[in-house]
């Protein structure tokens, strides 16, 4: 048995009573029907079970709960907005769910220091709105912004469409407040960009998926709001054209490219087919399209830059056709196609998904080789890669052949993973770019991780969670 995966034992009635007393009965959900939103994963791939969902309202309550959990060796699953896609937030074995969504206070917005201090249960949308009200931008952007939470974003080191310029969740965190497995509170909520007083402990917990501690609050960096934004949709002949066009755009704007998203034609057609109200931005059909967003602190001149980039792209054969948005509403319509890209594929049956990254220069070779390998493994399957060209993060989804049996197709999930992951690693990539490890990729880590790095991960887990009570069976 893996030392990190001790069997979960049933919680005693006495322990349950003690924990419920900490949060109060109204914040302890035992009714099975009311528990459902906390137990069913976003894509309905997993449904968990738990004796209780605990909803603490403060850091002190989280601390008290973890003291009891440590004393009684009770397994805990920390949970944010339950938008994760790798099963890391689900109680697969009857663990207690610790939902942080009641801890939703924005403690401070400091536009002078360019920081915002949020509790873990604040949604990404609320954090962005609070920043906007202070004339600033919180630069993380995810399609699930209305329901995903700051704590969850940091625990999974979430990425998003603006990572090209602003980085992933880790890039935004200046300080954290974390409750450790034994109930101690690590208070590291500083606003400092420079603090060399020893180890940078916050980075232990960012991306750890709740296995090392429970993030209860964070100080996040803000940036100035852009004064102008331009969005364009371009039809392109190849994946290589997307990489070349990105390079051209980056050179012409000196860092002004805030998003650069690629979408395969067949995937666009599926979105248009299954999502009412969407329409094709261009009459020109092409193997791939890109969605480009530029932003600037200057109120003027950005549209000229976009026009010059597209014109130069046309002249070099990188662009077949293009359109620049004339309104905010049109830009939202373009972005809606991109945001629905993964979800709508499910309307066509089974979809085997991969959240991977490779160096930007290797994206064309990876997709070409991946497409060929996938079709050889399962003839008729439909690769529909899309995602963040600017940071090398490709959501490499493969939809079942037309008319195939969904259940039988999904039985090939592991075979397809093995095939695609070998190609990812060949090109110097990662099998988990922005969604995390959870249980989906847990068993791949010892196969692909540097042995010393993997052993250090296990050492950290044993040190910070010696009883193995925090999100057991996830990541390791």
Enumerate the domain spans of the chain.
Answer: 106-224, 228-342, 349-435
Where does residue 258 rank: exposed (0-12), middle (13-18), buried (19+ CB within 10 A)? Answer: buried
Residues 6+ positions from 45 with CB-CB distance below 8 Å: 87
Q: How far apart (Å, rounded) are the C-alpha atoms in residues 438 and 442?
A: 6
pLDDT of residue 369: 98
Which residues have C-beta within 8 Å of that of residue 408, sequence separation ≥ 6? none
Strands (DSSP E) along 172-213, which ranges?
173-179, 185-188
Q: How confident is the model at residue 461 (pLDDT cuts 50, 70, 90)?
A: very high
Q: Output the CA torsion 191→257→205→7 (10° steps).
A: 160
Helix (H, G, I), strand (E, B) or coil at 345: helix
Which pLDDT score, from 0 to 100, does residue 4 have? 64
Residue 430 DSSP symbol: B
Across the range 278-305, mean pLDDT stands at 95
Tokens of 107: 């403690």
Give CA–CA dist 405/97, Å, rounded. Answer: 35
State how far the Cα of 213 lies from the Cα of 7, in Å rounded to an integer. 20
For the chain, give the percent of residues with pLDDT over 90: 88
pLDDT at 244 over 60: yes
Q: Going by CATH, does the domain composed of 228-342 fall within 3.40.50.1100?
A: no
Residue 116 structure tokens: 């915002």
CATH classification number, 106-224, choose in 3.40.50.720, 3.30.465.10, 3.90.1150.10, 3.30.70.560: 3.30.465.10
Question: If residue 294 lies in a helix (H) or strand (E), which one and from where to where?
Answer: strand 288-296
pLDDT at 287: 97
Per-residue pLDDT band for 161 (boundaries 50, 70, 90) equals: confident
The three-class DSSP label of residue 308 is: helix
Q: How confident is residue 389, by pLDDT bands cut at 50, 70 and 90? A: very high
DSSP code for 411: T
- CA–CA dist 383, 370 (Å, integer): 8
What would the mean pLDDT of 173-193 be, rounded to a whole number? 96
The string of pLDDT tens digits covering residues 77-124 is 999 999 998 999 999 999 999 999 999 999 999 999 999 999 999 999
Q: Mean per-residue pLDDT for 202-228?
A: 97
E-only strand ranges, 337-404: 351-352, 355-357, 382-388, 393-399
Architecture of domain 349-435 in CATH? 2-Layer Sandwich (3.30)
Q: What is the pTM of this model?
A: 0.93
DSSP state of 301: S
Which ranges of 84-136 would DSSP assign to H, the alpha helix? Answer: 124-133
Q: Nearest to residue 147, comparing CAs of 171, 121, 169, 128? A: 121
Domains 228-342 and 349-435 share a fold: yes
pLDDT above 80 for 8: no
Q: How many CB atoms lie within 10 A of CB 354?
A: 24
Provide the strand spans (E) within 365-469: 382-388, 393-399
Through-space distance between the first and last CA atoms of the chain, rounded to whole angstroms: 12
Neighbours of 34 (CB within 10 A): 10
Q: With beta carbons less than 8 A apart as the criterion, state whether 346 and 274 touch.
A: no
Q: 83: closest CA among 109, 68, 101, 67?
A: 101
Decide: helix, strand or coil at residue 470.
Answer: strand
Mean per-residue pLDDT over the chain, rounded: 95
SS3 4: coil
What was the pLDDT predicted at 407? 95
Q: How confident is the model at residue 42 (pLDDT cuts 50, 70, 90)?
A: confident
Task: Answer whether residue 5 shows pLDDT above 80.
Answer: no
- Does the structure show a pLDDT above 50 at 1? no
Average pLDDT in the 284-296 region? 96
What confidence tier does 2 reach under pLDDT thresholds 50, 70, 90?
low
- What is the pLDDT at residue 10? 85
pLDDT value of residue 6: 66
For 333-362, how does the pLDDT look when each residue is reduced to its tens digit (9 = 90+)? 999 999 999 889 989 999 999 999 999 999
């Amino acid at each position: 048995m893996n030392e990190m995966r001790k069997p979960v034992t049933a919680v005693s009635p006495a322990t349950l009573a003690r924990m419920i007393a900490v949060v109060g009965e109204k914040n302890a959900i035992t009714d099975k029907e009311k528990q459902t939103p906390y137990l069913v994963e976003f894509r309905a791939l997993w449904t968990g079970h738990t004796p209780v969902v605990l909803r603490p309202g403060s850091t002190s309550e989280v601390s008290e709960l973890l003291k009891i959990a440590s004393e009684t060796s009770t397994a805990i699953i920390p949970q944010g907005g339950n938008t994760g896609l790798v099963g890391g937030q689900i109680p697969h074995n009857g663990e207690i769910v610790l939902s942080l969504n009641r801890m939703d206070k924005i403690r401070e917005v400091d536009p002078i220091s360019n920081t915002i201090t949020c509790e873990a249960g604040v949604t990404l949308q609320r954090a962005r709105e609070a920043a906007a009200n202070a004339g600033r931008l919180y630069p993380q952007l995810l399609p699930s912004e209305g329901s995903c939470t700051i704590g969850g974003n940091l625990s999974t080191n979430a990425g998003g469409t603006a990572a090209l310029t602003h980085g992933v969740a880790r890039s935004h965190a200046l300080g954290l407040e974390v409750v450790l497995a034994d109930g101690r509170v690590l208070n590291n909520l500083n606003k400092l960009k420079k603090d060399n007083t020893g180890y940078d402990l916050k980075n232990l917990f960012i991306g750890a998926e709740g296995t090392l501690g429970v993030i209860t609050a964070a100080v996040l960096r803000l940036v100035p709001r852009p004064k102008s934004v331009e969005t364009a949709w371009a039809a392109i002949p190849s994946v290589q054209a997307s990489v070349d066009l990105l390079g051209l755009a980056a050179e012409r704007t000196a860092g002004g490219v805030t998003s650069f998203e690629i979408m395969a034609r067949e995937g666009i057609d599926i979105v248009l087919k299954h999502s009412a109200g969407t329409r094709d931005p261009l009459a020109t059909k092409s193997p791939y399209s890109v969605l480009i967003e530029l932003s600037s602190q200057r109120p003027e001149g950005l549209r000229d830059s976009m026009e010059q980039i597209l014109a130069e792209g046309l002249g070099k054969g990188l662009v077949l056709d293009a359109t620049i948005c004339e309104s905010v509403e049109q830009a939202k319509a373009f972005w809606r196609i991109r945001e629905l890209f993964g979800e709508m594929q499910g309307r066509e049956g089974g979809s085997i998904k991969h959240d991977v990254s490779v160096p930007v220069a290797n994206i064309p070779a990876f997709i070409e080789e991946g497409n060929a390998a996938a079709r050889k493994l399962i003839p008729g399957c439909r690769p529909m890669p899309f995602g963040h060209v600017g940071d090398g993060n490709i959501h490499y989804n493969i939809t079942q052949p037309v008319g195939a049996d969904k259940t039988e197709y999904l039985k090939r999930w592991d075979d397809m993973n093995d095939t695609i992951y070998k190609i990812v690693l060949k090109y110097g990539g990662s099998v988990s770019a922005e969604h995390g490890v959870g249980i989906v990729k847990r068993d791949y880590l010892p196969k692909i991780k540097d042995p010393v790095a993997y052993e250090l991960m296990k050492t950290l887990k044993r040190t910070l969670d010696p009883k193995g009570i925090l999100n057991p069976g996830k990541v390791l």
